[in-house]
Amino acid sequence: MNKLFIVPFLLLLFSTGISFSQEEKAEVKPVTRDPQKFEASHSGTFNGQKITYKSIVGEIFLKNSKGEVTGAMWSTSYVREGVDSAKRPVTFVFNGGPGSASMWLHMGFFGPKVVKIDSEGKVDDGAAPYRFVENTQALLDLTDLVFIDPIGTGFSKIEGVGKNTDFWGLNEDARSIAQFMRIWVTQNGRWQAPKLMAGESFGTTRAAKVAEVLEGGGQNMALNGIILISQALDYAGSSSWADNLTSFFTYLPSQAVTAWYHGKAGQGKTIEAFAQEARDFAYGDYLNSLYLGEKQTPAQKESIAEKLAYFTGLDKGYILRSDNQILMHRFKKELLRVEGKAIGTLDGRFLALETDKSSEGPVLGDASDYMAESAYTAVFNDYLMRDLKVTMDRPYLTSAAGMGGDWNWKPVPDGAYYEPSYVSTARSLSEAMHRNTQMQVMVANGYYDLITPFFDAEYTFARHNFPQDRIHMTYYEAGHMMYNRQEDFDALAKDVREFLEGMLK
């Protein structure tokens, strides 16, 4: 799961209520200890192959240009045994936020064991015990896996002369992840191995920037491929704010298919057909209307409102009062208001009965978050102790307290002139793909994702001069974490496997 974004859609998603923080040290002490590491041996059957592998939960010390330790970045690695590892592919996996640990992709999809919640999003995860099963579709037959927890998440923290500001920023974060990857590759003798990244939500923002950083610094490391799950490369299309005309355009098809799912629009049509109809309207009459604004006649506005009501299932009068611009937090409350329910942000299939039925937006938070988070957290903490043999005297933080407000979103160095704009790393990835003409990119989209909409992915990758023949778009009938729905877990596993096999052959 990906949480805590600077815009509302990225900023609150996975705050755990934990109050731990990393305070700046009053006295700087040099780091003299060796990095910690916990190892265990395992076996499993993946894609029909019996495989023995080793898990390594450990830290890598990050250093500044003076060679001083600034941070200890932890990861969980799964390394196949009994094979020549020199050219064996390795995939680096992280979640988003910023401020989220890698637990969500680890426990939800890529790990050798995964948690299972209600596939249709109708039942809350409740209380322990939770379902935890072998992941026979895990990729360990094809690639080793390294799950990275950025500084401030998991067990990762500042050390030595380090400060939060060394890591908590768009550029700073990318540099630290790139440094970690280079050190891991060096320590494990994998410079000749194919290398991939997989990120979710802000993790895709990060992945694009890391790909750029890896091409410099005196240690150029070219990537073979990147898997972007619920991409967020250009925030103009995934920030549902008043006056951000781009967002009304990019969110409309997601609102339409979500209304279709809840029986409020598009009945009798397939989701694909209704989604395409919404795309056509968005690119045509609706885009024209958004930019005409008050140059439209009342009749023109009413005509657009009728179409919006057709697609969103909302009352035409409400749409007209909203000036034909429906903010996402309002849509989530308005769609099922008469039933007293609000739908989820990460996944619009989820819904919950609200305590305040007259509020403008959901008051309980994101149903698709709180109906799943307890299961993920409990299962992972138990897994760390029982399966991975980790014994620590401090908690594993699924999210970094305080990071959101301290995050430096500026894409330019300190002191350089900068005017605020929407965050975007789309151009970074496009340019990296033009410099590395073998890099392939897979983009996985959930139809009911109401935070990073599928139409925004299409809009983003249609621009920025992306090489279209190396972009692979896939779609799933769930939300941000499409793998929570079993049918989409299976489909995503098949698509990722085919992507890797095609790239590595």
Same domain, residue pair 467 and 351:
no
For position 214, which CATH number holds? 3.40.50.1820
Same domain, residue pair 253 and 185:
no
- What's the average model confidence in pLDDT over 443-447? 98
In the numeric block, the tokens 């009965």 are attached to 353
By C-alpha distance, which of 128, 38, 96, 107 is closest to 404? 96
Does 442 reside within a domain? yes
DSSP class of 282: I
Lowest mean pLDDT among 9-23, 37-51, 209-223: 9-23
CB 280 within 8 A of CB 482: no
Q: Measured between alpha carbons, how far apart are the two ends of the chain, in Å?
A: 31
Give the integer Cα–Cα distance in Å for 192 and 86.
6
- Helix (H), strand (E) counts: the chain: 16, 14
Q: Quick one: pLDDT at residue 26?
A: 52
Does 246 reside within a domain? yes
Q: Quick one: pLDDT at residue 505?
A: 82
Same domain, residue pair 229 and 250:
no
- Asked whether the CA dihedral 476, 173, 380, 370 is positive or negative, the reply is negative
Q: What angle do CA 19, 10, 288 make, to 5 degrees?
A: 160
CB 409 within 8 A of CB 206: no
Instruction: Kindly report, residue by residue over 383-427, the tens digit of the pLDDT.
Output: 999 999 999 999 999 999 888 889 999 999 888 999 999 999 999
Same domain, residue pair 198 and 267:
no
Give the integer Cα–Cα distance in Å for 230 and 366.
17
pLDDT-based confidence at residue 4 (cuts at 50, 70, 90): very low
- Find the domain containing 135 and state its range: 8-13+35-236+372-411+429-504
Same domain, residue pair 353 and 287:
yes
Residue 29 has pLDDT above 90, yes or no: no
Residue 485 has pLDDT above 70, yes or no: yes
Same domain, residue pair 376 and 361:
no
| Residues contacting 326, CB < 8 A, separation 6+ | 248, 255, 308, 312, 314, 319, 334
Tell which of 333, 348, 365 closes a domain. Answer: 365
Instruction: Kindly report, residue by residue over 171-182, the tens digit of the pLDDT.
Output: 999 999 999 999
Same domain, residue pair 57 and 202:
yes
DSSP H helical ranges for 262-337: 271-281, 287-292, 298-312, 316-321, 328-334
Same domain, residue pair 74 and 222:
yes
- What's the average model confidence in pLDDT over 26-37? 84
Instruction: Kindly report, residue by residue over 190-208, the tens digit of the pLDDT.
Output: 999 999 999 999 999 999 9
Does 24 reside within a domain? no
Does 162 reside within a domain? yes
Q: Quick one: pLDDT at residue 125?
A: 92
**Is the bond into 98 cis (omega within 30 degrees of 0)?**
yes
Does 73 reside within a domain? yes
In the numeric block, the tokens 């399966």 are attached to 387
Residue 30 has pLDDT above 90, yes or no: no
**Is the bond into 413 cis (omega within 30 degrees of 0)?**
no
Does 20 reside within a domain? no
Structure tokens at 406: 């301290």
Give the integer Cα–Cα distance in Å for 94 and 181.
12
How many structural domains compose the chain?
Answer: 2
Which string of DSSP letters, residue by residue, matches 191-222? Answer: TTS-EEEEEEEHHHHHHHHHHHHTT-TT----
- Beta bridge partners, 65, equal none
CB 249 within 8 A of CB 231: no
Does 443 reside within a domain? yes
CB 140 within 8 A of CB 46: yes
Same domain, residue pair 176 and 208:
yes
Q: Quick one: pLDDT at residue 404?
A: 83
Structure tokens at 176: 């630290």
Instruction: Kindly report, residue by residue over 372-386, the tens digit of the pLDDT.
Output: 999 999 999 999 999
- Beta bridge partners, 246, equal none
Residue 28 has pLDDT above 90, yes or no: no
Residue 336 has pLDDT above 70, yes or no: yes
SS3 track for 370-404: HCCHHHHHHHHHHHHHHCCCCCCCCCCECECCCHH
Supply the angle between the helices 271-281 and 454-461 in degrees, to the nearest 10: 60
DSSP class of 38: E
DSSP class of 98: T
Structure tokens at 188: 């494990």
Same domain, residue pair 318 and 348:
yes
Give the integer Cα–Cα distance in Å for 385 and 187.
25
Q: Quick one: pLDDT at residue 17?
A: 38
Q: Quick one: pLDDT at residue 32?
A: 86
Instruction: Kindly report, residue by residue over 74-107, the tens digit of the pLDDT.
Output: 999 999 999 999 999 999 999 999 999 999 999 9
Does 473 reside within a domain? yes
Same domain, residue pair 378 and 436:
yes
CB 460 within 8 A of CB 233: yes
pLDDT-based confidence at residue 1 (cuts at 50, 70, 90): low
Residue 242 has pLDDT above 90, yes or no: yes
- The pLDDT mean for the chain works out to 94
At residue 359, the 3 state secondary structure works out as: coil
Same domain, residue pair 222 and 106:
yes
